[in-house]
Amino acid sequence: MDLSPLASRDLKRGCPLTAFDGGSIRSRADRTLDKRGHYTNRIRVAIGLLIFFALISNLRLLRDWAQFDLSFVGHDDVTTYQKRFDRIRPMLPEHGIVGYTGAGLNHAHYELSDVVAMKNWFVAQYALAPIVLSIKGGNKITIINGNPDPTDSSSPDGASLVAKDLGNGYKLIDYGGGLKLLIQEF
């Protein structure tokens, strides 16, 4: 009698044996193994297809990335706008609340403000984080973010800096390019 290893184990345990597949004696465990083997092949094919399509997708992304133009990095609107605030950063506290006013910004109802003014406020907040820019009054330091004046002789690159004493403890520092800092010295 030709017994498989699982059939001989089942015979020792007293499990019933049956003739299966051409007369050889097999146990119920052997038949289950055949069924699982069939599912195992399906699983292997599914995993293989999944890996194949993932690789195809990654190759396509790699090809698209190789053709991507990176020349604009560092020259986009947000990065250029952030550089405006590099000159005033040393005058600001490391953290805390600083006042902010900008051209076209409606302080009473900021949601009614000009879209460009809102964008400038949000980008300024992003550039100066963790400082919070408040459009409410009563701050010791206020950033005045105006539109660059084309007739302004002061250059925004840091070559000139104009400071004016406004009296009553207020000092205005003009960094050029529409960017000013109002400091209250009490």
Residues 131-162: pLDDT tens digits?
Answer: 998 888 788 998 888 876 555 554 445 456 77
Q: Is residue 23 included in any domain, yes or no?
A: yes
Confidence of residue 86 (pLDDT cuts 50, 70, 90): confident
Q: Is residue 92 included in any domain, yes or no?
A: yes
User: What single-letter amino acid sits at 158?
Assistant: G
Rounded to whole angstroms, how far apart are CA atoms 104 and 120? 10
- Is residue 74 within a helix (H) or strand (E), and if so which, with residue range? none
Residues in the chain: 186
Tokens of 22: 């051409």
Q: Is residue 172 included in any domain, yes or no?
A: yes
Q: Is residue 72 included in any domain, yes or no?
A: no
Tokens of 8: 């001989």
Task: State which of 66, 93, 116 marks the end of a domain.
Answer: 66
Both 127 and 57 in one domain: the answer is: no
Q: Residues of the chain with pLDDT > 90: what percent?
A: 9
The reported pTM is 0.54
Both 99 and 120 in one domain: the answer is: yes
Rounded to whole angstroms, how far apart are CA atoms 150 and 39? 75
Task: State which of 66, 85, 109 marks the end of a domain.
Answer: 66
Query: Is the dihedral angle over the CA atoms 94, 99, 104, 105 positive or is it negative?
Result: positive
Both 104 and 137 in one domain: the answer is: yes
* 61 has a pLDDT exceeding 60: yes
Q: Name the residue with higher pLDDT: 184 or 160.
A: 184
SS percent in the chain: helix, strand, coil, step 5:
40, 20, 35
Neighbours of 124 (CB within 10 A): 22
pLDDT digits (tens, 9 = 90+) for 98-136: 998 887 776 667 677 778 888 888 888 988 989 998 888
Q: Is residue 71 included in any domain, yes or no?
A: no
By residue range, what is the domain housing residue 57? Answer: 5-66
Average pLDDT, the chain: 75
Question: What residues contact 40, with CB distance under 8 A and at least 6 apart?
Answer: none
Q: What is the pLDDT of residue 7?
A: 59
Rounded to an integer, the average pLDDT of 12-30 is 55
| Number of domains the chain contains | 2
Both 38 and 87 in one domain: the answer is: no
